[in-house]
Structure 1
């Protein structure tokens, strides 16, 4: 049973109501009213097209680390300034929390109290060259993220820069079904972008989708029709490798009901946890009790976040984050 959440102040320009609006409508409203449509995304001029070219396609788009036989590559699909002010989205954060967060991740702090963030996917290259992709970014023009995010993302080009062809991807793990994490799963005609890949999603994530959630029509049904949707329940080993190495889907609920992370275990030679949206801003690294306004169950998200951070500290493994300025970090 989900706890009853207090009604929090809405971002500037978004009316507060007793019935919580959908995540997408809140983001769309903040982008349209508070930020002058999508102009805030453009680092150089003010249109979605300009935002798409922001930052170029240089080496910063790909950062890699190894865990045993696995190469884990952080792939930056996009970068931008989140709609609204950072305090809007983390209303419980205090001055000391923000100060520590800025020391941990100065790249997240834009002018006028804004939140700068990357939209990042991860590719895990296994022995033999096959790829497990974790999340697929914001997607092309016309994707569900287009109303608030800097579409088009760059993932297809970044994959080519990393030497990855679509047919190399045999597994896609979707940490959750928010539009900035499934955008390149299909194209705008509903054709799967990775036709040889099973797409691993927690059953609880599918079951929790609202009837009008864009994820159902845009990604779930096309994958189901293509026979590529692979539902799992709980902690499941997704891939096994040499020397006790493995990739494991680990339930990390709270941000959404069926949110999952991916633990890359290098067989005694390092561990990397690809966290999805367990923590979305460095303020949650500085103060794990700070809630993100769009978490579906803030109490569960808080417990999950603390557990993930505690485990990383206890075992000395890296966290691989979706939105922080540094893709890999030790808490």
Structure 2
């Protein structure tokens, strides 16, 4: 069964794309300020985050928001076998997860890319075989995986693309501009139904998250606002791969430490796709 949660009339669906060990450093190296007591607490909270060899086990997933007015997908996973996230467990299985949820890519009319790291954009633009108009036979082109969707990126992220990954200009930005599917946001913005995009910079200059709320219950789709369960419990902890750790901390604390009602964290990388956090005052 595909994991999902309902907030009012809106359904948030977890779309698995893969799982594998974090290849760059140990979890202690990724969060050097974490204490032994904090690691003990997080091992009780999310025991599946450590594999049999003691490595940080990383899930890769996207999310679909299905409401009365349409379907939004948040992030695009690690991608097919030839995707640039070669450190991840390619190929991803997002197409199968979409099919299991009863979603055809052509039905999706909005894609929110939380940021431009390769494990979050893998299925956004993919290679396809096309016939050239010159009659020289087949050639490989690029097209959006969600052909009828507007792709939402923060302007600050767009402006930083050459610093983040200059290859993305050719493989992601230019194809989306050519198909008139790229939309740039300046800060927070409403989505349909009960959703909204929230600017959460720090991990990258234009990182953004998505909040779906109804009354005192909400779902926060985090991207890499937090990348490990330890940051859900201790949002003040910095991750070594954050571009601006202090800004990332402020973004986390604003949404996690300042929560008033029940918050369901929908994370790209935690073991469970949905983790309920009680009100901060509880």
| Same fold at TM > 0.5 | yes
Contact 2:216/2:262 (CA < 8 Å) preserved in 1? no
Show structure 1 runs of 4+ deviating over 4 A. Answer: none
Q: Which of 104, 120, 137 is the equivalent residue of 1:165?
A: 104
Structure 2 CA distance, aligned partners of 1:303 and 1:98? 22
Could you tell me whether the CA contact under 8 Å between 1:179 and 1:215 is conserved in 2? Answer: no
Q: Report what 1:144 is aligned to.
A: 84
Matched, 1:249 2:197: yes
Q: Which of the numbers 280, 287, 307 marks the counterpart of 2:254?
A: 307
2-structure distance, mates of 1:98, 1:310: 19
Residue 270 of structure 1 and its aligned partner are, at CA, apart by: 3.2
Q: Give yes or no for contact 2:218–2:264 (8 Å, CA) kept in 1.
A: yes
Unaligned 5+ runs, structure 2: 128-140, 278-282
Q: Distance in 2 between matches of 1:228 and 1:273?
A: 25
Cα pair 2:235 2:257 within 8 Å, conserved: no
Alpha-carbon shift at residue 292 of structure 1 (Å): 1.0
* C-alpha deviation, 1:112, in angstroms: 4.0
Q: How does 1:235-246 map to 2 (within 5 A)?
A: 235-239=188-192, 241=193, 246=194
Give the TM-score, by structure 1 length.
Answer: 0.76
**Higher strand fraction (1 or 2):** 2
Deviations 1:8-32 (A, max 9, x none): xxxxxxxxxxxxxxxxxxxxxxxxx
C-alpha displacement at 1:134, in angstroms?
A: 0.3
Name the residue aligned to 1:182. Answer: 121
Q: 8 Å contact 1:237–1:249 — kept in the other structure?
A: yes
Measure, in 2, the Cα distance between the counterparts of 1:94 and 1:214: 38
CA contact (8 A) 1:119 1:323 kept: yes
For 1:206-285, what aligned pairs fall within 5 Å after superposition? 206-210=158-162, 212-239=165-192, 241=193, 246-266=194-214, 268=215, 270-285=217-232
Q: How many equivalent pairs are there? A: 262
The TM-score, its normalising length taken from structure 2, stands at 0.89
Does residue 58 of structure 2 align to residue 123 of structure 1? no
